[in-house]
Chain A
Amino acid sequence: MPQVRVEVLGPLRAVVDGIEARLGGRRERAVLAVLAAARGRAVTPERLVDEVWGEEAPPSATASLQVAVSRLRAALRPAEIVLDPGGYRLGGAEVDAGALSSVARSLDGLAAGEALVRTEEVLALWRGAPYADLRDVPGLAAEAARLEEDRLLLEEARAGALLELGRPDEARAATAALVAEHPFAERLWSLLALALYRCGRQADALETLRRLRESLVDELGVDPSPAVRELEADLLAQAPHLSPAAALSPGTDATRSRATGVVGRVSVLAALEDALDELVDDGRGGVVALTGEAGIGKTMLADEVVRRGRARGARVVVGRCHEADVAPAYWPWLPILRELAGPDAPAEVAVLLGTQPGPDVEATGADAAALRTYDAVTRVLAARPGPLLVVLEDLHWADASSLRLLAYAAEALRQRPVAFVVTVRDVDPEVNPALTVALAGLARLGATRLRMPHLGEDAVVELLRDVFDDPDPALAAVLARRTDGNPFFVLEMARLLAADGTGEGLAERAERLEVPDGIADVVRLRLAGLPASTREALEVASVAGRRFPLDGLDAVLERSSLEDVDLAVGTGIVRPDELPGSFRFVHALTRETIERDLRPGRRARLHKLVGRAMERRLAAQPELVTEVAFHLARAAAYFPDVVLDAVHHGAEAARSAERRGAYEEAAETWRATLAVEALAPEPDVRRRHGLLLDLAAARQRLGDIRGAQEALDSAVALGRSVGDVELTARAATGFRSYNVWHWREIGEPDQATISVLEDCLREVSDPVLRARLLMHLSTESYIARRIDDADRAAGEALALARSLGDKALLQECLELRCITLFLPGRAAEREATARELLGLDIDQERELAALFHLGSGLHRQGRARESDEVMARAFEIAAELRHTGIDIPLAWWRWLRAAETRAPDADELGQRALAVHRRTTVVGLEELTGLTTLERQPSTGEVPADLVVAAQGHPNRSYRTYVAHALARSGDHDAALRLLGDPEPEDEYDYASHFAQCLRVEILALCGRTEGLAEALARIEPYADEHATYGSVLSAGSTAYFIGLGALALGDTERARAALEEAVRVNADSGSRRFEEHARRALSALG
């Protein structure tokens, strides 16, 4: 029997035996809809007319109704529309709304499994708003509203079932999609909140209920129902019954470890115990991060870890981060190193601790120096036998160097008995990207992240024992709810209550306690109860920092503050620090609140007073300089008399950071100092110019070439503005070499700097400065691919330097000259220049650079054996010096030699070089990634499309040619020729141009192109004796091989044979087995 279904859950439609029936016009549809809505009951013709035609129905409406009914009968057969005594009735048809409603009515008592299956079955019938197309029929609007109610009921039941089945994610998705449609459906919103809570999104859960409350109050003027309020309270208290039954098992978190005052932290403590077990029993380290909101008890727990660690025989060291805007470099590490470093500590650690002067900052690159420092600290941490626990508190305030050191040490010490426990406040990732990066890095190392949970009521009872002898559970309930289970907040409120007596009615008073809707308010309330002198002392202390010395406080207040501090200790606001004579705020939040509430003028004055007081102790404690600078800088806007001192100390602080290798902090401190300097009552061009140059140098060390350029441009502008050519010239020659490679990508010249250098040269007469200007002009010209200009300027510079007999100047010029002689036909000259440099009295780092230039120069002349000897010496020095900026070119050189001699570890060396390179800001990463990728695949392998695309836009023409060569070998000649383009002009050559010209010959030969081949061949012939190398990273062996290939393609077999024989001989001689084999193969093909 054919089935007839009338579907009203959406636009009306009827389906007869699987096929949609044609119902006719609006009247027919409206009539059917009204009959369907009657659910099998009869509807009088009068009512049908009223509904369908409205009150002003024409007299003909009854006749029209009969027509509509008869049309419907025809369309819906075998279903029928019967005319009973009571009116028209739809029979023999199933109406989808019926199933929806009947299931909605029968949900009570169903277990979750059946409820889910049932509700999903009928909810799937929902196609949209019921009777969506017929809402103008008055009777249907009411029926549609009823159906919407049923649907809501079903959706709620479905979400409830999903929650019960342990699928909160699906429940969340289902309810989140609906709440907007039902702003007042409290059960739906509650389900969403519960689902969020079970997905681990407590805050979102509470926010959901807050939004519900808002719309109820704003739009209906009513409060949420008791059920919602109860849920809200339960969410705040993390009531156990909110968790699904299965997740309840470890439910004893509310117990208190009484000896320590750590309450409600059983699971977190258990995880920490695990970490201690691993450290003490298994000798394995790791990182545990305690995270959570302010005041949640991270510090207290860290103290507990310290206690337990010591009890188990581990050495425990603690470092706390500094709250200043510009954190002093390595601040949290200093106390740790002071404790651990013995007299034989590495020099870098001694420098950090200020017990040894720093190295000559000029000579070392930033990456290198920082790595040396990390390395040294790591060695100190690893030096002691037995388990070591390093606790770093308040990591959210850490300086970038400290974070990076932590990541480095944690990775290096993974297999050693050194564990790290760090506390971190929840911080917006945008606000502190360095912290986000560091935490992500730690996570990759497998760090355990423990989020501090809010306290439940039971735990609050325990906590309250700190204040009351026998705390009332009712009070605990009130406090738990009102404080969101934040222990700091709980204790603050409890102390506030206790201050007014501990008699009866505490819970009621807690309930009425004046709206402390934020932690700050509670702090303020508590402070308000203290004497004015104590408040004053605390204000000064808040400016001084979380930890402050008593005598420092006395000095600022010009009176004894002992009594005030005692009172503050008594009320639990501050407590004695491990450092004798010092105190610290129990909670960072208290300090922040007090400081934030100071009026700006008063805050500035206190900063000045604190800064001046510290300044007086500088002679004895030079490490205070960063803080002095910080405090004075904060006072500078209001007190012009501190500006110059702030600048002075700022510069000193920056230099001290540089000595520690903390270049980020140094750069930041230089920048901050410049900002303070701008407030100086009387401008001083030289002072400002000096700061700009220092800033530029710090930035250049960080690889921030653009930032350095900006600072130098400002310095140039400053020099020009006062017509001081010397200042201008010094700014224009501000770049230094910290490497054996050039500092900017070739082909991206800085035209402005070149013009400034040329302008200066016209005016400057001082020969030393002239030599520098010329040498810089030479290097910038080389980067701009203007070889003739580069040569001319370099020649003049060197002549000048030699004539002056200024050794330092000559060294500087020779070193830069070596870099710019990376050109075809100039290898012998580079050799000579490097030898001249080696002949001077130079330090090891410069010797290393000179050896590198000498070695690569020899190799390029086909004298690979000699080159190997020189490089061997370079590797020795590099190992001795550890991290230097030259590590990276050396790593690439290892790859070059390994690849051309077909050493088995070539690929590994290439990947290692890439990894080392990646850690730094040295130029050329993109092309080197491409080179290593293509070198590791078979020579005829397909070239990855993204590489080709990237190469098309690459400024380095040689790199483009290299990729074109790979394309040609893979057989994609069209793409190869397209990418190859025209040959570059000979006077625009750079370090890789000759290599690229050789490849061009092979590409044309491979693609069967004779056009342009003779010309390409002529380009490389003059350098027949040279090795073709891509700078110092990739070698193609003797140029003769490519001459042979070119001659062969042009049909000159005799010449080809001679060249290839030569290539076999030279490559065999230099150990370039790879191209020796290539040449032999080409020869044998010749017959």
Chain B
Amino acid sequence: MNAITTTEATEPVTTTDIPWDRLRGTVAGRLHLPGDPDFAAVSTPWVVNVPQRPAAVLEVADTGDVVAAVRFAEEHGVAVTAQPRGHAARTTLDDTLLLRTRALDSIDVDIQRGTARVGAGVKWGELMARLDGTGLVALCGSNPDPSVVGLTLGGGVSWFTRKYGFTANSVVSFEVVGPCGDLVTVTRASDPDLFWALRGGGGDFGIVVSIELALMLAPSVHGGKLMWAVEHAATVLKAFRDLALTAPDELTVWGHVYHFPPLPDLPEPIRGRSFVGVAFTHLGSAAEAEALIKPLRDAAPVQLDLVGPVPPSAMGEVAQEPTEPMPSLEFGTLLTGVDDAAIDRIVAVVGDRERCPLIVTQLRGLGGGFARTSPAAGAVAAVQEPFQLFAVGVPAVPELEAPIRAAFGALAGAVDGLATGHAMPNFTPDGSPNSVCYPPETLERLRRIKLERDPRGTIRSNKPVLGE
């Protein structure tokens, strides 16, 4: 592999030699260069502690700008990348021409056909808000802030993945600006290889300017969150684990241990306090849902009950994840299972607010659509592991970074022997090799397609498939 990557690597370019003014003259959007007063603001991603040093940032105004930018990049040997929000920021974007695609904000929902075509800048929350009352849902992520396109290119884990599979596999067509600056519509029939790669292979194959998603039938969704005092963590998490392993595909459950910081903008009941919590969604009636989660309610006295009907517009609030840019460090791994002993060890690491610097530790129940494989699927890899362990720490001050990393290490120790070392692409921290998220044959095919379509590396994603 190394042999290939070194021979195909783009020649080093001194980005200061690039005639940026020419690009500025051909685009409608604003071009920012290092040294411009607002450069720091536009080049900082959502995850603010990841230092990104792009060569230039273009806030594109329309698809034409994307075409112009890619052609310019191709001509001058500079790599180009798109980052609508920056939830998955990586240092791999240094020296690139970074496109902020937020202005590509069109949303066309066709209820009749059951499809939605959204521009690259559209956030999940915005799309879902349009689906209220339609009885249809898109396979949205748990956070309303990331872009539809960004999440989907990485495969996409949704509340509905257990039932309907990965978000990427719900794509009907892509509109893509390819490495030569050509705008094409990609469907299964038009370009099977590219259609495959774009569905889960990341942003390395073109700048996606819009995406057409199939909308799924979901006449009613019931869900929300139950919270208990953190002392019940082991008991509740064991009940959660049992439920996750036996739940029908319509039910998705995630268990958490929370240590909310004492920040004034958090609501009073949770501010500065710790909980064990279970979030869930159920495609179906309230009665069915309640019957299914009864073991959870029975496990320990519920302190906060945030369960109810969930319209699509409220889907992003079920998990109550942060939407404002912030510094964060993440840890994630897939688990072959979580036996009682493992739960006890995890609780030992994260159960005590005084000793645990992580604000949230999460076990997601997978299975169902996560594990299903199909020759028709895209590059997103099926996940056989029934659980994902995921944790977030907020290094509000740099001194916190060391204890957070130590806690990650302790978590890893707690699940030693259960962790497979694999992770889903949208849950890998900066610096993880691609082999963590893709089986070898998938990675091989992705690399082959990349070398065929973009040998000069004009398009660069946050996780370049040719990188290690």
Contact = CB atoms under 8 A, between A and B. Distances in A.
Contacts of B374: 121-122, 124-125
A117 B170 contact: yes
Given A165-B113, A173-B189, A125 B216 contact: no
B189 A114 contact: no
Interface in B370-392: 371, 374-377, 384
B114 A121 contact: no
Contacts of B114: 110-115
Given A110-B114, A111-B115, A116-B172, A121 B376 contact: yes
A111 B219 CA distance: 13
B60 interface: no
Contacts of A570: none
B96 interface: no
B2 interface: no
A165 B172 contact: yes
Contact of A117 (B112, B136, B214, B371): B214
A924 B375 CA distance: 59
B166 to A, nearest CB: 11
B215 to A, nearest CB: 6
Interface in A873-919: none
Contacts of A111: 111-115, 136, 214-215, 217
Contacts of A170: 187, 189
Nearest to A113: B214
A109 interface: yes
A116 B213 CA distance: 11
Interface string A768-783: 0000000000000000
Interface in A98-140: 109-117, 120-125
Contacts of B384: 3
A112 B113 contact: yes
Contacts of A110: 114, 217
A113 B213 contact: yes
Interface string B12-25: 00000000000000
Contacts of A120: 188, 376
A245 interface: yes
B462 interface: no
B426 interface: no
Contacts of A169: 189
Contacts of B172: 113, 116-117, 165
A564 interface: no
A111 B138 CA distance: 12
A245 B115 CA distance: 14
Interface of B is mostly: loop
Interface in B165-214: 165, 169-172, 187-189, 212-214
A115 B170 CA distance: 10
Interface string B213-252: 1111100000000000000000000000000000000000
A164 B113 contact: yes
Contact of B115 (A121, A165, A173): A165
B213 A109 contact: no
A720 interface: no
B147 to A, nearest CB: 20
B375 A113 contact: no
Q: How large is the interface on A (under 10, 10 to 19, 20 to 34, 35 or more residues)?
A: 20 to 34
B217 A123 contact: no
Contacts of B165: 121
Contacts of A114: 114, 170, 214-217
Given A111-B136, A170-B187, A173-B189, A121 B112 contact: no
A115 B113 CA distance: 10
Contacts, number: 69
Contacts of B215: 111, 113-114
A121 B217 contact: no
Interface of A is mostly: helix
Interface residues of B, number: 27
A167 interface: yes
A113 B212 CA distance: 9
A297 B216 CA distance: 48
B375 A116 contact: no
Contacts of B213: 113
Of A114, A120, A122, A173, chain B has the most CB atoms within 10 Å of the CB of: A114
Contact of B375 (A115, A124, A245): A124
Contacts of A115: 114
A697 B114 CA distance: 71
Contacts of B188: 120
B113 A123 contact: no
A109 B377 CA distance: 23
A110 B111 CA distance: 11
Contacts of A167: 187, 189
A716 to B, nearest CB: 62
A124 B378 CA distance: 12
Nearest to B113: A112
Interface string B103-116: 00000000111111
A112 B136 CA distance: 12
Of B112, B113, B212, chain A has the most CB atoms within 10 Å of the CB of: B113
A710 B116 CA distance: 70
Contacts of B212: 113
A109 B112 CA distance: 11
Nearest to A245: B112
Contacts of B136: 111
Contacts of A124: 374-376
B337 to A, nearest CB: 9
B113 A117 contact: no
A111 B113 CA distance: 5
Contacts of A122: 374, 376
Interface string B121-154: 0000000000000001000000000000000000
Contacts of B112: 111-112, 164, 245
B360 to A, nearest CB: 29
Interface in A168-189: 169-170, 173
A92 to B, nearest CB: 14
Of A120, A125, A245, chain B has the most CB atoms within 10 Å of the CB of: A120
Of A3, A109, A111, chain B has the most CB atoms within 10 Å of the CB of: A111
B280 to A, nearest CB: 23
A302 to B, nearest CB: 39
Interface in A1-36: 3
Contacts of A117: 169-172, 214
A863 B112 CA distance: 84
A3 B216 CA distance: 28
A112 B172 CA distance: 10
Contacts of A173: 189
A165 B187 CA distance: 12
Contacts of A164: 112-113
Contact of B377 (A112, A116, A121): A121
A46 B376 CA distance: 39
Interface in B314-371: 371
B113 A113 contact: yes
A151 to B, nearest CB: 14
A164 B212 CA distance: 14
B232 to A, nearest CB: 30
B241 to A, nearest CB: 16
Contacts of B371: 3
A384 to B, nearest CB: 44
A122 B375 CA distance: 8
Contacts of B376: 120-124
Contacts of A113: 113-116, 170, 172, 212-215
**CB-CB nearest 3 A-B residue pairs:** A111-B114, A113-B214, A124-B376
Interface of A: 3, 109-117, 120-125, 164-165, 167, 169-170, 173, 245
7 contacts: A111-B136, A112-B115, A113-B116, A113-B212, A113-B213, A114-B214, A169-B189
Given A111-B111, A245-B112, 16 more contacts: A3-B384, A111-B112, A111-B113, A113-B114, A113-B115, A113-B212, A113-B215, A114-B217, A116-B214, A117-B214, A120-B188, A124-B374, A124-B376, A125-B374, A164-B112, A173-B189
